[in-house]
Chains A and B, each alone.
Chain A
Amino acid sequence: MGLLSKKDAKLITDPFADNNPITIQVLGICSALAITAELKASIVMAISVLFVMGVGNVVISLMRNIIPSKIRIIVQLIVVATLVIIVDQVLKAFAYELSKTLGAFIGLIITNCIIMGRFEAFALANGTWRSFLDGIGNAIGYGVILIIVGFFRELLGSGTLLGFKVLGDPIEKTGVYALGYENNGFMLLAPMALIVVGIIIWVQRTKNPALVEEQ
C-alpha cells in the first residue's frame, strides 16, 4: 500500500473488522437479510454497493460546501437515487442480462442506510480522496458479511454454491445425501439470516472482547 498513508489505509481496513458497518455500526441490515439466500445475489449486491458508495461519497464530498444543511438529507437521497437510476438505465440498454439480475436490488440499494449513513458521517466533513477510501472500505466490510451469510445460507439451505451442487443431488441421493443428509430449508427463510448475522457478531466479539457492549 505504498500509495496510501497509514491514516488513509486505516479507512479501508477499519470497516473490514472492528468498525464493520453491519455488525458494529448497524447499517445496511435490510439488504443483508433480504438477498443472502443465494451466494450469487450477495456478490452482485456487494459489487453494486461498492460502486454506489465509492462514487456517491465522492460526489457528496465535492458538494459538501454548497449543500444547505436544512435540506441535506433530501439532497443526499437524490444523489444516490440519480446515480442508481442512471446506472440501471445504462445497463438496461447495453447489458440487458446483467440489468435483469440487478433490477430487483435497485430499491434496496437506494434505501440502503449504509450509503446514507456514510454520507452523513463522513463525506459531508471530509475531502474527496478520503471520502472515496471510506466509501470503498465500508462497502468492502459490508460485502464481506453479505458473502459470509450468503455462503452459509446457500450451502446449508440448498446444498449448492453459486448454483453448483457441491453436496450432491438431493433427489437422486448422491454425495452426502446418500448418507442421509437433508437440506435445511429453514436456512433459506429470512429469519435465519438474522440468526446467522447474530452468530457472526458472537464470533467477532468473542475474538475481540473490546467490542463487547456494556450490560
Chain B
Amino acid sequence: MSKRTESNLYTVLFATVMVIIVGALLAFFASALKPTINENKRIEKQQNILYAMGVNENDETSAIFVSKDKVGEEFSKYITKQIVIQGGKVTEDNKAYLIDVKKEQTAEKEGKQRRLPLFIGERDGKTFYIAPIRGKGLWDAIWGFVAMDANMVVKGAYFDHAGETAGLGSNIKQRFFMDDFIGEHLKKDGKFVGIAISKSNNDPLNKDKTDNEVDAIAGATITGDGVAAMIKSELRKYVSYFNTLKTN
C-alpha cells in the first residue's frame, strides 16, 4: 500500500468523504422509496385484516391473501366500520387501520391514553370484530390481527413476525397454527382469560374449542408464549368494549 494512504490527514479526509457519500446514498434511497414502501405496508395491513376475517384466497394448505389490486375494493366492501376506542370513548375513524400499534404501546408506557383501533366487518350476514395485537417473540417483534364475534370467540387469526427462527418460531404464520385459533374461546365462564399455547393438553388436533388452549409448535416455546402473551395483554383492553356490545 502506498505511503500516501497512511497519513492522518488522508485518513480523516477519506472517512469524511465516505460518510458523506454513504449518508447521501442511503438518504436518497430511503426518501425516494419511502412512498412505495409505505403503500406496500398499507396494502399489507388491509390484506392482514381481511385475512383474519376469512376474506382470503387460501388453497388447501397455504395462506394466500387477497391480491394486491383487489384489496382496496374488498376492504371497503367487507369492513363496514372502523372505530377507535380511547379511554372508554368510541369514535368512528375510517383511517383507524393506519394507527401504528407500536407507537400506541410506547405512548401507553409514557402514561398517555392509548388509542385502540377496532375494525368491524360483515361477511355472509355475520359480524366480525377485528383487533390488532403486537408483542415480542424470541428474537424480535411479533404481531397480528384477531377476528372475533361479539362473545369474544375467535373467528380467524393472522400472525406475523419480524425475525423468528426459520422453521420453528416462524411457523406462527403457517396455516396449521393460525387455523387452530378459529372457534377458540377467549373467555371462560364470562371472564376474559385469553388463549394459552399448550404443549401438554392431549389435544393436538384441537377438538376442544372451549379449553382456552391451542396446540404449541414444537421447538418454538418462547415464540408461542409470546403469541399467548400478546393475545392476553392486548385483547384484554377490548373487553370493556365487548361488554357493552352484549348488553345492547
| Complex contact flag A–B (Cβ < 8 Å) | yes
Taking Cβ atoms with an 8 Å cutoff, the residues of A that contact B are: 34-38, 40-41, 65-71, 74-75, 78, 82, 85-86, 89-90, 92-94, 96, 103-104, 107, 153-154, 157-158, 163, 171, 185, 188-190
A interface footprint on B10-39 (CB within 8 Å = 1, 0 otherwise): 110011001000100110011001001100
Given contacts A69-B6, A82-B25, whether A37 and B33 have CB atoms under 8 Å apart is no
Could you give 16 example pairs across A and B, Cβ below 8 Å?
Answer: A38-B167, A41-B166, A65-B5, A75-B18, A82-B26, A85-B26, A85-B29, A93-B37, A103-B162, A104-B139, A104-B140, A104-B161, A104-B162, A104-B163, A157-B219, A190-B165
Complex partner residue of B15 from A71, A85, A94, CB under 8 angstroms: A71
> Which A residues lie within 8 Å of B5 (CB)?
65-69
Say whether chain A's binding surface is mostly helix, strand, loop, or mixed: helix
**Interface residue? B205 (CB, 8 A):** yes
Q: How far is the CA of A104 from the CA of B11 in the complex (A)?
A: 34
The list of the 7 closest CB pairs from A to B, nearest first, reads A37-B167, A38-B167, A41-B166, A104-B163, A93-B36, A68-B11, A93-B33
B245 contacts partner chain A, Cβ-Cβ < 8 Å: no
Contacts of A103 in B (CB 8 A): 162-163
Residues of B within 8 A of A82 (CB): 22, 25-26
| In contact, B166 and A38 (Cβ under 8 angstroms) | yes
**CB of A193 to closest CB in B, whole Å:** 11
Q: Are B163 and A158 in contact (CB under 8 A)?
A: no
Task: Say yes or no: B164 contacts A104, CB within 8 Å.
Answer: yes
Binding site for A on B (CB under 8 A): 1-2, 5-6, 10-11, 14-15, 18, 22, 25-26, 29-30, 33, 36-37, 40, 44, 62, 139-140, 161-168, 170, 204-205, 218-219
B62 to chain A: closest residue by CB: A163
Query: In the complex, A171→B204 CA distance in Å?
Result: 9
Residue of A nearest to B174 (CB): A163
A37 in contact with B37 (CB, 8 Å): no
Q: Which residue of A lies closest to B30 (CB)?
A: A89
- Is A67's CB under 8 angstroms from B14's CB? yes
Q: What is the CA–CA distance of A87 and B62 in the complex, to the nearest angstrom?
A: 28
When C-beta atoms are compared, the residue in chain B nearest to A164 turns out to be B61
Report the bound CA distance from A89 to B32 in whole Å.
10
Tell me, in angstroms, the Cα distance from A67 to B4 when the chains sit together: 10
When the two chains form the complex, which single residue of A69, A75, A104 contacts B166, counting CB atoms closer than 8 Å? Answer: A104
A37 touches B26 (CB 8 A): no
Contact (Cβ within 8 A) B25 A189 = no
A65 lies within 8 A of B167 (CB) = no
